[in-house]
């Protein structure tokens, strides 16, 4: 049986842990050759690659800070040189610095903008030079980019709102090439960054309709669907996987 992403190559930024690692594994299990970038934590990245290879897939990890255009461009070039093409980009690298807006330092705000917005611009521009017709660009936004009920995420939600509008607008620019651009908006997902047992968890869980945190695999499943040929007519969309947080 042919797998849905057989013959495709996918690049996932920030793919060494959490949601990014789950996406890498899922796309690989669907037949894609997978490249992940990471900033620090080479061991974690190596372990994702090892897991994919152990299951019979092809994967590679490249150290590249998502905010460094030179490193990101080099990672994209290396991906194309190694696997011959680039069909799927998942803009997953991002961070949150949860604190009241008036208490945030300018350095922290700059970091959010630099990674969550500028980093997404850098990777997307680098990849579009190489992406074949029919490619997929997938943003990992956030349900708070549309509606935010959690104090402490004002600046973060602003960056994810920007990502949402970027996806919608870019979809119109690249549609003639059959490239789709979509924004996946996770709600509270159990990761190192936002543990289900953490200090910030109770109000987030209470905001969901399902009264639970989601798993990284539940996000990866939606990304894999959007990356697949079946989703060819979905573009410019923001799709929530948030347990009903925004319902």
Catalytic residues: 156
Three-class SS of the chain: CCCCCCCCEEEECCCCCHHHHHHHHHHHHCCCEEEEEECCCHHHHHHHHHHHHHCCCCEEEEECCCCCHHHHHHHHHHHHHHHCCCCEEEECCCCCCCCCHHHCCHHHHHHHHHHHHHHHHHHHHHHHCCCCCCCEEEEECCHHHCCCCCCCCHHHHHHHHHHHHHHHHHHHHHHHHCCEEEEEEECCECCCCCCCCCCCHHHHHHCCCCCCCECHHHHHHHHHHHHCHHHCCCCCCEEEECCCCCC
């Amino acid at each position: 049986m042919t797998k849905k992403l057989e013959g495709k190559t996918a690049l996932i930024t920030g793919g060494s842990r959490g949601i990014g690692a789950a996406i890498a594994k899922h796309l690989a299990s669907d037949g894609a050759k997978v490249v992940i970038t990471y900033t620090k934590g080479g061991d974690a990245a190596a372990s994702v690659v090892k897991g994919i290879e152990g299951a019979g897939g092809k994967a590679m990890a490249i150290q590249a800070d998502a905010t460094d255009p030179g490193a990101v461009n080099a990672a994209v070039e290396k991906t194309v040189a190694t696997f011959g093409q680039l069909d799927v980009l998942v803009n997953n690298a991002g961070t949150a610095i949860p604190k009241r807006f008036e208490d945030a330092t300018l350095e922290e705000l700059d970091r959010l903008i630099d990674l969550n917005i500028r980093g997404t611009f850098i990777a997307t521009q680098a990849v579009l030079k190489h992406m074949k017709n029919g490619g997929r660009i997938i943003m990992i936004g956030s349900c708070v980019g549309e509606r935010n009920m959690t104090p402490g995420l004002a600046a973060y939600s602003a960056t994810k709102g920007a990502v949402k509008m970027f996806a919608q607008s870019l979809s119109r620019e690249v549609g003639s090439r059959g490239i789709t651009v979509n924004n996946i908006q996770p709600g509270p997902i159990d990761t190192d960054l936002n543990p289900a047992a953490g200090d910030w968890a109770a109000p987030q869980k209470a905001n969901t309709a399902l009264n639970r945190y989601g798993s990284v695999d539940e996000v990866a499943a939606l990304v894999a669907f959007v990356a697949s040929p079946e989703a060819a007519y979905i573009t410019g969309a923001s799709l929530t996987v948030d347990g009903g947080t925004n319902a």
